A = this chain, B = another copy of it.
Amino acid sequence: MNFITSKENHLFKRWKKLPKEQVLLEGEHLCQSWLSTYGKPKATLISEHAVGKYARYGHQDGQTFILADRLFNQLSSVPSPQGVMYWVDIPIENTQEVLEENALLLDRIQDPGNLGTILRNAAAAGVRLVYLSSGCANPWSDKVLRSAQGAHFVLKILTQQNLSQVIQHKKIPIFATTLSKTAKNLYTFNIPPSCAWLMGNEGSGIEKTLLDLVDDSIFIPQDSCVESLNVGVASALVLFEQRRQSFYSQK
């Protein structure tokens, strides 16, 4: 193990200012999730006060570092750090040319908490592929990682996607969720086992040019007393209704 106590340490300086291809995964749950999918990180960072608890997260090849608490806290994004981080390369996903498996397409989802929730929902519902348009929050930011709870490591997350091109080359139906009452009712609509869902920006919804390309628009019937559901919640309702119809419905 190596001890780092100076802010002039060259590694500490690198961690403070990571290139966009790298990220520090913070906390036991994210580190565990990384480990079970990708194996060893580039390095394990442990806070001085937490050595006893997290020493087992370290590896035997020298790439484990104990940081003085005050340094560790500078790298942390939470007020009370657990005391363990993995330094990793963000997995690079090759753009999938043709959309032919269950997927989510996200058009400018800006709130990191919402994006994290949507990724977590997708993973829980069994979807493995997510396309993010430009204008979405950075999926590898602290907040998104925290609210997705490890979903990143079971998903293929494609960023900066041209959704209109993705839709034009699709091989399965794509449905948009909208608030329009002329759209079809989620609960009476026959959802095919293979399809993709397009969800739109928190304020302005789905871009009109994309809406024109989808197979059907779907609304979630709700009481008229509130304007709409949060986009994270809406994504769960459509994905789990698809799952219900596939697995639990007698047709």
Contacts and interface: CB of A to CB of B under 8 A. Distances in A.
Interface of A: 29, 113, 117, 120-121, 123-126, 147, 149-151, 154, 185, 187-188, 220-223, 225-230, 232-233, 236-237, 240-241, 243-244, 247-248
A125 B187 CA distance: 13
Contacts of A232: 117, 230, 232-233
Contact of A237 (B120, B150, B227, B237): B237
A223 B119 CA distance: 13
Contact of A222 (B125, B187, B227, B248): B125
B222 A229 contact: no
A232 B117 CA distance: 10
Contact of A121 (B187, B227, B233, B243): B233
Contacts of A117: 230, 232-233
Contacts of A147: 230
Copies held by the complex: 2
17 contacts: A29-B227, A117-B230, A120-B233, A121-B229, A121-B233, A124-B222, A124-B223, A125-B223, A147-B230, A151-B225, A154-B226, A220-B240, A229-B236, A232-B232, A233-B233, A236-B236, A236-B237
Contact of A226 (B149, B240, B244): B149
Sort A-B residue pairs by CB-CB distance and give the 5 closest, nearest first. A187-B248, A124-B222, A126-B223, A154-B225, A233-B236
Given A233-B117, A236-B233, A149 B188 contact: no
A227 to B, nearest CB: 7
Given A232-B233, A237-B237, 11 more contacts: A124-B229, A125-B222, A126-B222, A149-B227, A150-B226, A154-B226, A187-B247, A187-B248, A221-B247, A233-B236, A236-B236
A244 B189 CA distance: 12
A225 B148 CA distance: 12
Contacts of A125: 222-223
